[in-house]
A and B are shown apart, each in its own frame.
Chain A
């Protein structure tokens, strides 16, 4: 691990980051609760994305953005980046799906059935990695193995997996927020039509 900011966030002060992650968790639950109701079935939503150019370059941009996001998560402890930053980039890539493909394609992916378990997995994974250190006889969230030379993907040890847990949680949380606000926007339009 040679990115000290990442080491601080996911290793030395990982307990604080755990709390931060649950702040995000609680806030998303709060938004979902505030915006609940009014989700009657809506019919076909008109999406007029006629341009093939938008679709082609949009598809390329989706791949590129998600790839950058995954790279930020995977190598966050080597180069600038980390779970939070990468998670946001992955979420942005997934949002592009709505922009270039339309609402129906988006909702196949951007629904609670898929995102809620992913979010839980991210938050739970963080805790499980922390507990794994406890099982190994070390304090909670200790970085319990380190292999590989500085600058390689293995140099992060278990903090590398903490990065992945945070990335998953953040990406899912952002997408849930987007889906909730979008629902508020789409339903009135469908009602008007």
Chain B
């Protein structure tokens, strides 16, 4: 089992996290959140990967053929849907903030309320 996919997942997560921490724009922050979440797809697929395994679709395939784990793939599908719902809500909130405060810079918003 190669450690490369796990390393890449960690790297993608850290890149997203760095973006979130240093973000000066709520839209940018929402996209960074999506990047960070993308690392979980990679993590899940890496867990389910079997060396030399084919896709878990068994049509015209001999019995006993090695295939990758379908359960984590189904879980990844759930993950994608959750990602979509989260970004939709975050973007809607960002729009609302822009309407109320006239800015999407988190620092300026705090200055206004304080």
- Enumerate chain A interface residues (CB-CB to B < 8 A): 2-5, 7-9, 13, 16-17, 20, 23-24, 26-28, 30-31, 34-35, 38, 78-80, 82, 84-85, 150-151, 174, 177, 180-181, 184
Contact = CB atoms under 8 A, between A and B. Distances in A.
B92 interface: yes
Contacts of B92: 30-31, 34-35, 180-181
Interface residues of B, number: 27
Nearest to B80: A84
Interface stretch (B18-26, B68-76, B101-109): B68-76
B88 A177 contact: yes
B88 A28 contact: yes
Contact of A9 (B77, B84, B93): B77
Given A4-B56, A4-B58, A34-B93, 10 more contacts: A3-B57, A5-B73, A13-B74, A17-B78, A23-B82, A34-B92, A82-B77, A85-B77, A174-B84, A181-B92
B57 A2 contact: yes
Contact of A27 (B77, B80, B88): B88
Contacts, number: 76
Q: Is the interface of B mostly helix, strand, loop or mixed?
A: helix
Contacts of B84: 24, 27, 174
Interface of B: 55-60, 67, 70-71, 73-74, 77-78, 80-82, 84-86, 88-89, 91-93, 95-96, 99
A34 B58 CA distance: 45
18 contacts: A2-B57, A4-B70, A5-B74, A5-B77, A7-B70, A20-B78, A24-B81, A27-B85, A30-B89, A31-B89, A34-B95, A35-B92, A78-B59, A80-B55, A84-B77, A151-B60, A174-B84, A181-B95
Nearest to B82: A23
B56 A27 contact: no
A30 B91 CA distance: 11
